Chain A
């Protein structure tokens, strides 16, 4: 190959030399002839004649020099271009459908590459492991408690790094210069940034001293905040900013590219966690539920790490108070590698979608292969002539392959462009809440993948038909009269190809109709509340300004009174929890009349703190009893509302009038005065089957939603609502503003994205398969024109002819549909991971997909069928 290449590069010189050599020969010969007595002209002519065709020499000489390969290649290419130009429709369809297939595969592969293959953008990411705890009796425990973290930090042997973050409310009010702003920050231990290998843009990481209880407050700014509030000035280091009314010194700024991929990790700003030196179980103020990240030492297995984590805790278990022992009975430490942690929930979805686009590409390839088989037969004569004048079989196959590789080359380029363009859309539509999605790009491995599938497509679409055509063509083409119908073998090849195509498209159709059905079911489900016309805004009175529940309650009441007077507002309410969003808290609950369980043994149940109008604003139905009233505040008796599920679970449906104690253990019994309907938000957001409602005045949660029900569009109320809040406290940031309808819509974004992508893929597959059926049937009609003409001449009606063609096409379609149903049943479990609540054997989906396909196939067949029925027997027989 190398010498061939050299020969090619030397080619000009080579030609030149050869010309010189041959010219010399002719001159010398002519001179000899002249000496023998010929005239000059006669001698030259004679010399030339003897030499014969110079070109033929050259050709042979070139062949020995290894140049022929490239000559033939360029010949093949020129020829292929000519052939492709001659059938522009075929070429356009082929390039277009392959480009779509390749483009979607490229885009999807870049997602797979980013999420599942490429190195994560953190140092030693392969050794980073998340540590969580599972408490069977407290399944809502949000993370390992700080004492466990402290024990691990002191005693773990199998890790060379450990850090924690999270551990409490992470929103802070920035006040001082400019608009007050609510910022999302995270508490971190000083080791975290080093653990993930983050180098700060400006300044430095927290020192160990700054991460200690009682240290002077410090903060690290996120890049965005730094740019927005401080214009990216490096002078911010050392400056003091007011956060929640407390001065904090800026020590560093995170780099722009820093994206810690956990959704719970907000990096507008970081503050030191400042755990006490020995966090212990008896210090509730510094008790935190953490997110813990460790780096395994090289060579330590996950199970060894898990063992180490568990045995450290066993060694310190004696320090645990009795209540923790009860709550943590049968506790399990769980370890999850970082990548799995980040991608666990989207992994399957991405792989299923990747499978779907691979199928679309396969269909496109089969389509073109089938068209090529048909064309190869139509080109029988041409191929046979080329074979007869000396083209070898290999040369002919190479020619056909060159054609297909050329088509695929164009398609690959177009596909790359399409893939690149769809990256942006994919980034938005992907069910990925990860920052990782921002790093999607077409890098070298994606390009290599595209090249690979392009070549594979070229070979699949070219080699199969080329070999099939060659086999028959060379043997019988010249014997026939060029009105051949193709051998039975080729009909079979095309039949199998088209059935495979329909089957693949059917699998996608069934999958997508399952997703559509899931989506429709979720979208139309009764949520247990009415989102229409509801605007929600969040405020978070800072604990310094509003240190106790009474102050906060007064502030909330003020807001709520202001908001009530906004024109168009029918109902105004406040509450610390929202359906689909969550919020509220958990509290240990006792039931009057039952023996009091030991400390920590009470069930921890979700509690929402709400104002009386909350139920009216969200239209959560009151089933029995009454809702809260303005007079339900101390010193009036304590009251609570519960939902239907709570009533069923703990009081067999008769909760009304019973008494429970929520949170405290001091005999502060509260009467259940009403039972309200359940929220039905399974699969769409935080779900609490049981729910206790307590008057907002007792809330200890600083974050509160203002809920406005109005007959006007909610977006029109934002300004007035913000004003109502600022009228109560102008330094109060308002955030998380959204209509309830938008929240409902957001809650379905994953399902919507899956449905949309799968729907697009299935639609493409359907279109491609339809083109395939159309092509095969049209070819079938063309190749049988004579037979059809004879039938018509002998008296067959148009209807009979249409029936004949249709039955041929529909038989293929039926076989494909049947195969597709089989395939979908086999792929059942994979599809099952994408759909919720609808069995994957959902008959409606299967029937709908089959009917749709049958109808489309019938239309695709009917066009050539109608043409067949209009065949003029005389014309067909004369020219057929």
Chain B
């Protein structure tokens, strides 16, 4: 397994939104889910996760609810709001365009210029 890649700036929010869109999670769950869906290729800086969660919640993209975790503890579960869903869509479109453009750019050979 190749060593995990550092996140590009700005991508953490997108990953969190994506992770939460697959079902409500508490913070640790979000972390695990991201690792899972990225095939453990992306390393989440734990110190960045919680501020990001709170920022998204504060921005109205995530909603939260207190519930009980698998180990029977009080846990805060995050879920996607409508605004969050919209944001996820637009960010994903943007990301896909970026990836296409980056791929095309990086695949360019000298004679094509």
The interface of chain A, by Cβ under 8 A from chain B, is 17-18, 20-25, 27-29, 31, 50-53, 56-57, 60-61, 63-66
Contact = CB atoms under 8 A, between A and B. Distances in A.
Interface of B: 26-28, 31, 46-47, 50-51, 54-55, 58, 66, 69-71, 73-76
Given A22-B50, A65-B54, A28 B71 contact: yes
Contacts of A20: 73-76
Nearest to A52: B47
Contacts of A21: 26-27, 50, 75-76
Nearest to A59: B51
B47 A51 contact: yes
A61 B54 CA distance: 6
- Nearest 7 A-B pairs (CB), nearest first? A60-B51, A64-B55, A28-B28, A25-B28, A61-B54, A52-B47, A64-B54
Contacts of A17: 66, 76
A271 B85 CA distance: 87
A57 B58 CA distance: 16
Most A-side CB within 10 Å, residue of B47, B55, B69, B70: B47
Contacts of B46: 25, 50-52
A21 B73 CA distance: 10
Contacts of B28: 24-25, 28-29
A24 B31 CA distance: 13
Contacts of B54: 61, 64-65
A25 B74 contact: no
Contacts of A24: 26-28, 69, 71, 73-75
A51 B48 CA distance: 10
B74 A57 contact: no
A57 B69 CA distance: 22
A66 B75 CA distance: 22
24 contacts: A20-B73, A21-B26, A21-B75, A22-B50, A24-B26, A24-B27, A24-B28, A24-B71, A24-B73, A25-B46, A25-B50, A27-B71, A27-B73, A28-B70, A28-B71, A51-B46, A51-B47, A52-B46, A56-B47, A57-B50, A57-B51, A61-B54, A64-B55, A65-B58
Nearest to A18: B50
A14 B32 CA distance: 24
Nearest to A60: B51
A25 B27 contact: yes
B63 to A, nearest CB: 15
A682 B31 CA distance: 95
**Of residues B50, B55, B73, which shows the largest number of chain A Cβ atoms within 10 Å of its Cβ?**
B50
Nearest to A20: B74
A66 B51 CA distance: 12
Contacts of B74: 20, 24
A447 B106 CA distance: 70
A24 B55 CA distance: 19
A31 B71 contact: yes
Given A18-B50, A25-B27, 9 more contacts: A21-B27, A21-B50, A21-B75, A24-B69, A25-B28, A25-B31, A28-B70, A51-B46, A65-B54
A51 to B, nearest CB: 6
Nearest to B70: A28
A23 B71 CA distance: 12
A60 B74 CA distance: 22
B75 to A, nearest CB: 5
A21 B51 CA distance: 12
A57 B71 contact: no
Contacts of B47: 51-53, 56-57, 60
Contacts of A63: 51
A26 to B, nearest CB: 9
Contact of A64 (B31, B58, B69): B58
Nearest to B51: A60
Nearest to B74: A20
Nearest to A26: B28
Contacts of A29: 28
Contacts of A31: 71
A52 B51 CA distance: 13
B11 to A, nearest CB: 18
A63 B51 CA distance: 9
Nearest to B52: A64
B49 to A, nearest CB: 9
A22 B50 CA distance: 8
Contacts of A22: 50
Contacts of B26: 21, 24-25
A18 B47 CA distance: 13
Contacts of B66: 17
A20 B54 CA distance: 14
Most interface-central of B27, B51, B74, B75 (chain A CB within 10 A): B51
A64 B27 contact: no
B27 to A, nearest CB: 5
B50 A61 contact: yes
A91 B40 CA distance: 60
A64 B49 CA distance: 13
A249 to B, nearest CB: 80
A585 B31 CA distance: 105
Nearest to A63: B51
A16 to B, nearest CB: 10
Contacts of B73: 20, 23-24, 27
B16 to A, nearest CB: 14
Nearest to A25: B28
B29 to A, nearest CB: 8
Contacts of B55: 64
Given A21-B26, A28-B69, A64 B51 contact: yes
A329 B58 CA distance: 85
A17 B78 CA distance: 14
Nearest to B26: A24
A83 B26 CA distance: 44
Q: Which of A20, A23, A61 has the most CB of B within 10 A?
A: A61
Contacts of B71: 24, 27-28, 31
B58 to A, nearest CB: 5
B62 to A, nearest CB: 12
Contacts of B27: 21, 24-25
A31 B54 CA distance: 25
B111 to A, nearest CB: 48
A676 B44 CA distance: 111
Contacts of B31: 25
A66 B57 CA distance: 13
Contacts of A65: 54, 58
A710 to B, nearest CB: 90
A28 B75 CA distance: 11
B51 to A, nearest CB: 4
Nearest to B29: A28
Contacts of A51: 46-47
Contacts of B75: 20-21, 24
A63 B73 CA distance: 26
Nearest to A23: B73
A66 B28 CA distance: 24
Contacts of A64: 51, 54-55, 58
A608 B43 CA distance: 111
A126 B77 CA distance: 67
Of the listed residues B26, B54, B70, the one surrounded by the most CB atoms of chain A closer than 10 A to its CB is B54
A63 B50 CA distance: 12
B66 to A, nearest CB: 8
A64 B31 CA distance: 20
B74 to A, nearest CB: 5
A65 B50 CA distance: 12
A31 to B, nearest CB: 7
A4 to B, nearest CB: 12
Contacts of A50: 46
A539 to B, nearest CB: 88
A55 to B, nearest CB: 11
A251 B27 CA distance: 86
Contacts of A18: 50
- Counting chain A CB atoms within 10 Å of each CB, the highest count among B26, B46, B55, B73 belongs to B46
A313 B53 CA distance: 87
